[in-house]
Amino acid sequence: MTPQRAMFWKIEDVWLFYVIAFIALGLFTVGVAIHIFVWRKSAPHGKTSFSWPALKHSLMDIFLGLRVFKGDIPAGIAHFLIFWGFVILTIGTTLLVVDDHLYHFLLGRNHLVFEVSMEIGGLFLSAGIIWALVRRYIQRVPRLEHRLEDAIVPLWLLAAAFSGFLLEALRLAAQRPPWGNWSFIGWAIAGWIPQGVAESVYPDLWWGHALLCLGFIAIIPYTKLFHVIGAPAAYYLHHSEEKSAGASLAPMEPGDSLNPADVAVLDACMRCGRCVQACPSNGAGEPFSPRDFVQAARHSLWLEHSPAGDIRFLSKQRPIEDKAAWYCTTCAACLEVCPVYGATFEAIARKRASLVEEGKGVPDLMNQTLERLFNYDNPWVSSKRERGAWAKGLDIPVLKADGKESQLCYFAGCTTSFDARAQEIAKAFCGILKHTGVSFGIMADKEPCCGDIARVTGELGLFQEKMENCLELFDKYSIKDVVTSSPHCFHTFLNEYSQTPFRVRHYSSVLKELMAEGRLKPKNPVNSTVTYHDPCYLGRHNRNFEEPREVIGSIPGIKLVEMSHHGSESLCCGGGGGRMWQGTDLRGEARMSEIRIREARETGADILITTCPLCLVMLEDALKTVGLEGKMKVMDLNELVLQSIEQ
C-alpha cells in the first residue's frame, strides 16, 4: 500500500465546507480590499513602482525576520517559530488541495516528507505561540499589552494547531496505517485513543478544526494579524521609497497626504511595543507612548477614509490627549527598533502641524518660543545683534555679503551663539581651525536661524520662511561650504531643505578630515577615561557614529569607554524636538538628561564627551542637578581636542 491520505475521510456534506470556505475567503478579501482602499485614499498622490533591490531587501526582512530579532532575541525566536510554522502549514494545506483536485502527487515518499514537514510546522507554531503567551501573560514582558485581541488571536491559532494534531491522532488511531509513525506527534497521541472512539469523534472534530482554520483566515484583516500582509507591503514600500540619509519630518501642510510607505507602516503596526521600550520620554515616566501615538494616527486615517470605520474590532482605540504630541524629542530610537520601520515621525509631525494650524493645543512655552523665533530669528530671549558676541576679541574673520571668494562658513547656530556654556564650542572650534590654518569666516550678527525648531514643532509656514531666508542669505554671501556646530542645523540643511546648493558638514567630520590630512595632530596627552554621548541627529539620523569616536581615539592618553546605550541605541538627552524650550510644562518622573548622565557616570568615566550644543547644555545642567558636579565633567569634543593641541 502506498503511503497517502484520503481527503474528506468520513466527512459528509463536503459542499458545506466549500460554502464556509468561500465565505471565509470572502471576508478575508473584503477586509484586505478595505485596507487597500484606505491606503489609496490616505496616500492619493503616492506612486509605487517595481524595484528589484527593494523586493530582495523585503524578502530578506520577511524570511529571515531580522527586524524582529533586532534587539530582542527571545521575541525574535518566538516570532520565527510562529512564522515558519504558519508558512509550512499554509503551504502544506495548499499542497493538499492541489493533490486532491489537480494532481495527485502526495504519494509514497512525497507523502512521508509531507507528513513530517506538517508535524514540524505544527510543532513550531504551537511552541512559538506558547512561548509568546508565556512572555505576555506569565513573564509579563512590560512592553506587551493585554487587550482582548492579544489573547484571542494566539489562543485561536493555538486551538487550530492543537485540534489539527488531535484530528491527525484520531485519524491515525482509526486507520492505523503502517507509515503512521512518520506523523510522530499524532502517532504518539493516537496510541492513547481507542479505535472505536476515534472513528465516532473524528467528523465532529474535523468540522471544528475546519471552522477554526477558516475563521482564522477570515479574521486576518480585522485584527492585528493583518500584519502578515501589512508588514511585507510596508517593507517593500519602505525599501522602494527614495529616502534621505535620515528619517525625516518632511515639511508638509496639515492634511497633506502621506506617502504609501508611511500609511502601510502605520497600518502594519501590531502594537508590539518595542518603540515604547526604546522611547526615552516613556523611559523617564512621561505620559507618552510612540505605540499609542502611531495607533491613534492609524485610527484617524481609518475614521477619515474607511467606508466601514476602523475594522479592528477587537482592539478599541484609546483616546489620546493632544498634549502627548509635544513629548516626542524626535530622537528616532523608536524607528531603530520598529519591526516595520516605524512611522512615528509622520504621526507626530501631522499631529503637531494640525495643532499649530488650529492654534489651540500649542503649549504656552512653545507658543512663546515660536513667536520669538519669528520676531528675533532665534528661540532664545536674545537679540540678533548679540549673535556674534561670542567671537569678540577672538579675531575671527566676518564674511561679507559681496565676498566673491567662497570660503568655509562656520555656522554657529542659535544655541551655540547665545548660550554661555555652548559658546565654548564655537570658541574651541575656531581655535582649532586657526591652529590648523584653515581659512574660514562667520556671519556674526547676520547669521540666520536654520528653522529646525519651527520644523520639528510643526510650524511649517515659519520653517518655510526660515529656509527661504537662509538660502537667500547663503546665496548673497556666496557661501558654498558650511560647517555647523549643531547636528540639528546640519541635519536640517542636508535633509530637510528643499534644496541644498552648498556643501554642509558637521564639525566632527571636519576634525576627522583635518586629522586624516595630518593638519591636526593632537599631541598633549589627556590622561582621562571618557565616554561619548551620540547626539540623535548626528548618530541615528545621519549615521555618523564613528568619526567622533575616531577623533577621540586619536588623542594620546585617552581611554574611551562606552555607555550601555551607545551608537544607534544612544539615549536622547531630552533636548530635541523642541523640548529644550518646553521647560517643565512637560514632565515625567525623571529627566531624560539625568538618566543619561547617571548612565555616563556608571561607566566610571571622568569626562562625558558630546558633539551637540543641545546635548552639552542639557547634560551639563543634569550634572548639576544630580549632584555629580566636581566628580565628572561634560565637554564638547572641540574642547577636548583643543586641550590636546594647545601649548
| Residues from 241 through 270 that contact other proteins (CB under 8 A) | 253
Q: Is the four-CA dihedral 229, 235, 238, 239 of positive or negative sign?
A: negative
Contacts 24+ apart (CB under 8 A), 356-359: 356/254, 356/457, 356/458, 356/459, 356/460, 357/254
Which of 469, 468, 417, 422 shows the shortest CA–CA distance to 442? 417
Residues binding other proteins: number (CB under 8 A): 30
Is 225 one of the binding residues for other proteins (CB under 8 A)?
A: no
Q: Closest approach of Cβ 266 to other proteins, in Å?
A: 24
Is 583 one of the binding residues for other proteins (CB under 8 A)?
A: no
Cα(485)–Cα(265) distance, rounded to whole angstroms? 34
Binder to other proteins among 132, 158, 167, 462 (CB under 8 A)?
Answer: 462
Is 469 one of the binding residues for other proteins (CB under 8 A)?
A: no
Other CB atoms within 10 A of residue 12 CB = 8
Residue located via cell numbers 547669521 = 447
Please measure the distance between the N-terminal and C-terminal CA atoms of the chain and give it in whole angstroms.
Answer: 94
DSSP 380-406: SS--GGGTTGGGTTS--PBP-TT--S-
- Alpha-helical regions (H) of 437-506: 452-456, 460-476, 487-491
Cα(456)–Cα(463) distance, rounded to whole angstroms? 9
Nearer to other proteins, 377 or 636 (CB): 377
Stretch that binds other proteins, among 68-76, 119-127, 455-463, 505-513 (CB under 8 A): 455-463
Cα(107)–Cα(215) distance, rounded to whole angstroms? 30
Query: Which x/- pattern over 320-359 shows residues binding other proteins (rule: CB under 8 A)?
Result: ------------------------------------xxxx
Q: Closest approach of Cβ 616 to other proteins, in Å?
A: 18
Q: Closest approach of Cβ 470 to other proteins, in Å?
A: 15
Query: Which x/- pattern over 379-408 shows residues binding other proteins (rule: CB under 8 A)?
Result: --xxx-xx----------------------
Q: Closest approach of Cβ 518 to other proteins, in Å?
A: 42
Query: Which x/- pattern over 356-375 shows residues binding other proteins (rule: CB under 8 A)?
Result: xxxxx-x-x-xxx-xxx-xx
C-alpha cell at 208: 471544528
Nearer to other proteins, 86 or 497 (CB): 497
Nearer to other proteins, 376 or 493 (CB): 376
| Residues from 610 through 639 that contact other proteins (CB under 8 A) | 624, 629
Nearer to other proteins, 160 or 353 (CB): 353
Q: Closest approach of Cβ 59 to other proteins, in Å?
A: 42
Rg (CA), the chain: 30
Nearer to other proteins, 307 or 359 (CB): 359
Which of 252, 295, 330 shows the shortest CA–CA distance to 43? 252
Nearer to other proteins, 2 or 375 (CB): 375
Binder to other proteins among 377, 419, 459, 594 (CB under 8 A)?
Answer: 459
Phi, psi of 410 (to 5 degrees): -85, 115
- Alpha-helical regions (H) of 578-636: 592-602, 613-625
Cα(366)–Cα(356) distance, rounded to whole angstroms? 10
Instruction: Give residues in contact with other proteins (CB under 8 A).
Output: 253, 356-360, 362, 364, 366-368, 370-372, 374-376, 381-383, 385-386, 459-462, 464-465, 624, 629
